[in-house]
Structure 1
């Protein structure tokens, strides 16, 4: 999947991947896609939940050898 920006949260555990996502998404324009790289399995539940609570669009997650790439589309200019 093509992303406009990336957050590297490898080696970090909850809640850091979500905190970094929240900070970075504020820098994006509506419609842009953020890729979040993490190795904390919790991201599989945390990222969709964060998207539901913030109104951003969860596009999916890819897993490869214990690393996860989550994709989020910024829906509006409201705070992420």
Structure 2
């Protein structure tokens, strides 16, 4: 595991209870607040983020570092690449 993947997130968001499109709106706003190379971690409950976050990352030029679901809770980390 690289040291970059062990890096602490610069921001942590609680998106639980928000429905599409709000998790994407919030992560897009948050990623603009961190430096290139920094990460934003979030937890959500909307199962739509499982498809929406990777699609958003591809189109916005960012990287999904982790995306995992445990029961109804979804945790993901996105790294700002540009």
Q: Give deviations 1:3-57, integer Å, cap 9, x for gaps.
A: 2211111001000000000111110001101112100000000000000000001
Match of 2:20 among 7, 14, 19: 14
Bigger helix share: 2
Total equivalences in the alignment:
76
Structure 2 unaligned regions, length at least 5: 1-5
What corresponds to 1:69 in structure 2?
75
Matched, 1:25 2:68: no
Q: CA deviation at 1:65?
A: 2.2
What corresponds to 2:51 in structure 1?
45
Q: CA RMSD in A?
A: 1.1
Q: Secondary structure at the match of 2:33?
A: coil
Q: Secondary structure at the match of 1:69?
A: strand
In 1, Cα distance between equivalents of 2:9 and 2:67:
13
- List structure 1 runs of 4+ shifted beyond 3 angstroms: none
Query: What's the TM-score once normalised by structure 1's chain length?
Result: 0.88
